[in-house]
Amino acid sequence: MLATPGLNLTEAAPLDAAERMGRDELASLQLARLRATLERAYERVPLYRARFDAAGLHPSDLGDLSDLGRFPFLAKADLRETYPFGLFAEPREKILRIHASSGTTGKPIVVGYTRHDLAIWAEVVARSLRLAGARPGELLHNAYGYGLFTGGLGIHAGAERLGLTVVPVSGGMTERQVQLITDFRPDHITVTPSYMLAILDEFARLGIDPRDCSLRVGIFGAEPWTNAMRREIEDAFRMDAVDIYGLTEVIGPGVSQESVETKDGLHVWEDHFYPEIVDPETGAVLPDGELGELVFTSLTKEAVPIIRYRTRDLTRLLPGTARPGMRRMEKVTGRSDDMIILRGVNVFPTQIEEALLGCAWCGGHFLVELTREGRLDEMTILAEARPDSWDPSAIDGHAERLTALIKGTIGITARVSVRPPGSLERSGGKARRVIDRRPRA
């Protein structure tokens, strides 16, 4: 349901041809593009040739789309091992832009874009922003980080392509974010949901009512977030909050986008990115509707073709709604690497976010700490209280009730440490949710 009746969604903003395609037409486009991608990768990238040869496969073995499941996966480690340019299918001179994702350990993952790749990226981001409710002539405050991270520049180019006025603020300097939002009166904001909460705090600190601000749609991504967080942000700002997904390895933001009208998961731009869901353990392809690991194959990328890239993100594929030809992916539950296994129970930070936001006193800033005491793993949730409900005498009661709620809903025993407002570190970009202090095995 729309939180902002002021959105003008009927105004002509013509869809790309692919957005109007039916499933059959899209599938034949995908097959032609997939064949070309496999051939190109085989001809130009030694790693793909070696892998296909080792599997006894040739690009010509692709008869239909389902044959893709016979081809080998590409893993994050493959991108690290070919650092920096080993997967490039074009000479360096044809590469107009480099981006990288830092990851937590080791070498970054490096990708490149030809002129054609940059044009496609801008096109899918423009589509995404339009599906989120943005229309030419409106103003966008872009608070994703500019630099090697794909968020800032990726959104920027797509917004210009759609015909928006872009304010390239980047992340951080929170007081200035609020000042620019107040003075420039943007219609839309693009930012991580966790940093949006930090901006919200700053509104409160400055004594400005966020419900009076001009923002009508927030386009949030780059990290997992829940429907509980959506409600939190929508209520606080009286705006609509929608999800945008993407990753450096595939292109950046704009791989899939949620519609502001349906808010029911993210339409994958399947004419450029072919999704599969696989069993994270066995790698077997799962049917639509089943939860598993998302795998992507690029269909049009020149510089760094990606074939069956294992994202580690967990979700399921569903039929299209707002764009009936394109399948949706459900909101990402989390990454398999972020999954906490506590005494045999699997927990995602998003489940904790959901529980926390169910408590009136907690505003959504939290951190999970894992420690080992004796032979047992312990989880402590550091949860920040909202400024308007901070009451040191209520802490014990809050913690006790939350521990019971988490036991009842998630099935784990967690300690809760209620922290004063503003005490947990803010990131300016992606939030770090888990600190693992357990000794390494």
Binding site for ligand DLL (CB under 6 A): 101, 144, 149-151, 221-224, 243-248, 252-253, 311, 313, 332, 335
Give the chain's radius of gyration (CA, Å).
22
User: Strands, E, within 227-325: which ranges?
Assistant: 240-247, 252-258, 266-268, 273-278, 292-298, 309-315, 317-318
Per the CB < 8 A criterion, the answer to whether 348 and 331 are in contact is no
Q: Residue 150 or residue 298: which is nearer to ligand DLL going by CB? A: 150
- State in angstroms the smallest separation of the CB of 112 from ligand DLL: 14
Burial class, 341, CB count within 10 angstroms (exposed 0-12 / middle 13-18 / buried 19+): exposed
Which residues lie below 8 Å from residue 390, measured CB to CB, with a gap of 6+?
420, 421
Q: Residue 157 or residue 402: which is nearer to ligand DLL going by CB? A: 157
Q: Residue 297 or residue 416: which is nearer to ligand DLL going by CB? A: 297
Q: Residue 142 or residue 174: which is nearer to ligand DLL going by CB? A: 142
Q: Residue 149 or residue 195: which is nearer to ligand DLL going by CB? A: 149
- State in angstroms the smallest separation of the CB of 222 from ligand DLL: 3
- State in angstroms the smallest separation of the CB of 360 from ligand DLL: 26
Q: Can you say how many angstroms the Cα of residue 180 is from the centroid of all Cα atoms in its chain? A: 25
- State in angstroms the smallest separation of the CB of 197 from ligand DLL: 15
Burial class, 136, CB count within 10 angstroms (exposed 0-12 / middle 13-18 / buried 19+): middle
- State in angstroms the smallest separation of the CB of 43 from ligand DLL: 27
Q: Residue 145 or residue 210: which is nearer to ligand DLL going by CB? A: 145
- CA separation for the pair 318, 124 (Å, rounded): 20
Tokens at 174, concatenated: 């929170």
- State in angstroms the smallest separation of the CB of 404 from ligand DLL: 28
Q: Residue 151 or residue 428: which is nearer to ligand DLL going by CB? A: 151
Spatial CA neighbour of 219 closest among 194, 248, 188, 185 = 188
Residue 295: which region, alpha, beta or left (left: phi > 0; alpha: psi -120 to 50)?
beta
- State in angstroms the smallest separation of the CB of 263 from ligand DLL: 13
Q: Provide the pairing of β-strand 139-142 with 292-298.
A: unpaired
| Residue whose beta carbon is closest to ligand DLL | 221
